[in-house]
Structure 1
Amino acid sequence: MNEILSHKLAVAVMVMNRDHKFLLVKSYKRGWEFPGGFVGIGESIKEAAIREVKEESGIDIQLTNFLGIEQDVAKSTCVVIFKGTPVSGKFAASDENQDVGYFTFDEAMSMITLGKFRDRIVRCLKEKEIPFFIEK
C-alpha cells in the first residue's frame, strides 16, 4: 500500500497578447518561462494562476482555457496549465524574477534554456492535443 504524503500543486499560464506574443518571466534559478507557482492553502487553482501572473509580471489576466496537467511523479508535483489574456497592468519584476516581457514564438524558443519549458510552450500550441496529461 502506498503511503499518502504531501503533494505539491502548482500552476503555469501561457499568456498571449493581441500580437500573439508570449508573456515570459525570467527566474533567477530556471531562466525564462511562463509565469506560475504553487497554489496556496485555501486558494483555488484559478485564483492561484491569476495571482501568480500578477505577482511575477505585474500583468492582470483573464483565464481563457484549461490546457492540461503535467505531473512529476518523482517530485510529487502536479502543474495545472492555463491559457490567459492580459487585461491591464504594467511590467514589474518581482523578488522571484529578474525580468519580464512579451516575446514571439521564435524569440521565446531561443530564450528558454530548460528543455521542459520549451516542450511546454510547444505542447500548449497543439490545439488537437489539448487538454493534455503528461506524466514523468
Structure 2
Amino acid sequence: MGQKPSHIHTPSKHFVSAATIVLNDQKEILLIKGPKRGWEMPGGIVEEGESLKDAAIRETKEESGIDIEVLKFCGIF
C-alpha cells in the first residue's frame, strides 16, 4: 500500500451574494434588522444556477415580504 498524503486538498468554496437597495416613493431605504449584524440591506447567497437579479428579488421577498422590481444594477464588489 502507498502512503497516505499528510493533508488532502479540498478546493475552497466561493459564495456570491446579492443585495438590494430598496427605495420607496419618499426615497426612504428599506433595512432589515438581522440578529447578528444589526441593520442591513436585504440580500443573501445566490443559489446555484440563479441569476444575481433573481437572487436579489428572492432574498428581498424572503426577508421583508416585499415584491420588488430591479431597475438598476449597481455593480459587483
Runs of 4+ residues over 2 Å off in structure 1: none
TM-score (norm 1): 0.47
SS of 1:19's equivalent in the other structure is coil
Residue 32 of structure 1: aligned partner = 39
2:19 corresponds to which of 12, 29, 40: 12
Greater relative CO, 1 or 2 (CA 8 Å, sep 6+):
1
Aligned partners of 1:6, 1:13: CA distance in 2, in Å?
Answer: 23
Between structures 1 and 2, the one with greater strand share: 1
Aligned partners of 2:36, 2:12: CA distance in 1, in Å?
Answer: 26
Aligned partners of 1:69, 1:41: CA distance in 2, in Å?
Answer: 18
Residue 58 of structure 1: aligned partner = 65
The size of the alignment, in residue pairs, is 67
Between structures 1 and 2, the one with greater helix share: 1
**C-alpha displacement of 1:5:** 3.2
Structural RMSD (CA): 1.0
Q: Which has the larger radius of gyration?
A: 2
SS of 1:23's equivalent in the other structure is coil
